[in-house]
Amino acid sequence: MIAFLKHRIAGQMLTAPPALGHLEATVMEILWERGESNVHDVMQTLDRRLAYTTVMTTLDRLYKKGLLNRHKSARAFVYAPRWSHREWEQKRAGEFVAGFLSGPEPSGELLISCLVEAVGQQDGALLDELERKIRQKRKELCQQRKP
Amino acid sequence: MIVPYLLRFLLLCLASFFLVHLALGLIAWFAARTAIGLALRMRPQTGARLLLAVRLFPAGFALLVVALICAPSYFWLEPKGTPEPIGLAFLSAAALGAAGWGLSVGRAILAAARSVRHIRRFRRAGRETRLPGEASPVWVIEDPAPRVMLAGLIRPQVVISRKVIAALSSEQLAAVLRHERAHGRSRDNLKRLLVLLAPGILPFIRGFGALERGWAKITEWAADDRAAAGDSQRSLTLAAALVRVARLGAVPSHPPLVTSLMADGMDLETRVDRLLAATSVATPQSGRAGILPGSFAIVLGGLLVAAMVHPATLSAAHEFLETLIR
């Protein structure tokens, strides 16, 4: 029964990505970069000195939040990210948008109009860049034709 | 369940088609990624042909097996007037074969009807005009969307909004029209219909999405190359025209049997980069490149057909089908 409840709770946690603290986010970045790592590996990669227990607690918390998988190797836990960085970002973005759209109507409209504007700006920047390339190519062709 | 001679033949055709198509469809599905990778490295015209061949191969070959093996072996070796029982597995395969064909034919008819409706709407909203310097007329429509497309299956015609004509220079307009006519010469709208007609791996799982998207993308590249015809100035003009049309705004969705200049808006950057690269290395178009593989395919096909209609093959096939029916 307890195992069943644990599983259900873990399942619910997986549907909504949990918020990450600063140290948790840093540790996740390290694991995405390194892949499978133990507490020592993470400590060595961190840019500041932290106690072994602090890193161990952080990794354990990330495991309990459902972000990491772990297995025992030579009496120590080895942790690995459950999702790739991209999958995690997609989950977060999806959750953010879903939360925004489930709010009152104006907030949904506001979000969509902001997204359309942002996409439009990006498109405009891309078209500017393409036009710049075409102008440059035309110039090169003209120079080649001149004796 | 006992069924009469001709109904059994119909069920046999459907079940054989389904089984052969499923096996070949799975092979094509596994090979899709490799085929797309290969096609991207080939000349676009050859790459588009390769992807279309891979997409149509399961249905084409399964039809060939039914027409050249199942049907002759049945009529030659199956005694007439003897009703035979058929098994549930065989009946299920026949039902799945019928469902697959029914869905794809239905989809193709719906797509054709939508396209005809759109073409009629465009014709009502516009007029046939002969643009300066152009040999054949185009349909110019009053539409707020920047539409440039090739509509129609048998005698396709270019449809273009006045907004696009006003925005492009005469050279850019000529480049855009050459692009659309290149689609017409390769009969891309007719090929789209064939792709829609070809059943998916299973009735409700098409499974060839990546192949179809890859083919659509490479046909655009092929039309760009044909429009540029190895001329650096033309490549540059077409690239500039693409960007100019993209600036006019998003193109609304178009019917499935219509080719649109900006169909794959996400691919604009790649298309422009390709055209600019073509200005550095102008590759003359050769019509002989496909002759050798074409002849090889014809010889191989001939040998295959000869092996298929051989009496020993038909007899073995009949025995196998007898087992399948029960």
pLDDT value of residue A79: 94
Which residues neighbour B269 within 8 Å (Cβ) at sequence distance 6 or greater? Answer: A126, A130
Nearest to A113 by CA among A100, A126, A129, A132: A100
Q: Judge contact between B91 and B61, C-beta under 8 A.
A: no
pLDDT value of residue B249: 78
What stretches in chain B show pLDDT beneath 70?
1-2, 81, 252, 263-266, 279-294
pLDDT value of residue A105: 57
Beta strands in B54-181, from DSSP E residues, in sequence order: 84-85, 126-129, 138-141, 148-151, 157-161
Edge-to-edge strand ranges of the sheet holding B259-260: B126-129, B138-141, B157-161, B148-151, B259-260
B308 touches chain A (CB under 8 A): no
A132 touches chain B (CB under 8 A): no
| Residues of chain B neighbouring A144 (CB-CB closer than 8 A) | none
A117 touches chain B (CB under 8 A): no
**pLDDT digit string (tens) for A25-58?**
889 988 988 888 999 989 888 877 888 999 999 9
Per-residue pLDDT for A127 more than 80?
yes
pLDDT value of residue B292: 58
Q: What is the pTM of this model?
A: 0.69
Q: Is A37 left (phi over 0), alpha (psi -120 to 50) or beta?
A: beta
CB within 8 Å: A133 and B273: yes
Tell me, what's the ipTM?
0.73
**pLDDT digit string (tens) for B186-236?**
999 999 999 999 999 988 888 888 899 899 999 999 999 999 988 888 999
CB within 8 Å: B269 and A133: no
**pLDDT digit string (tens) for B155-182?**
888 999 999 999 999 999 999 999 999 9
- A104 — pLDDT class (breaks 50, 70, 90): low
- A17 — pLDDT class (breaks 50, 70, 90): low
Residue type, B163: K
Q: Quote the distance between the C-alpha of residue A21 and its chain's center.
A: 13
CA pair distance A141, B235, nearest whole angstrom: 12
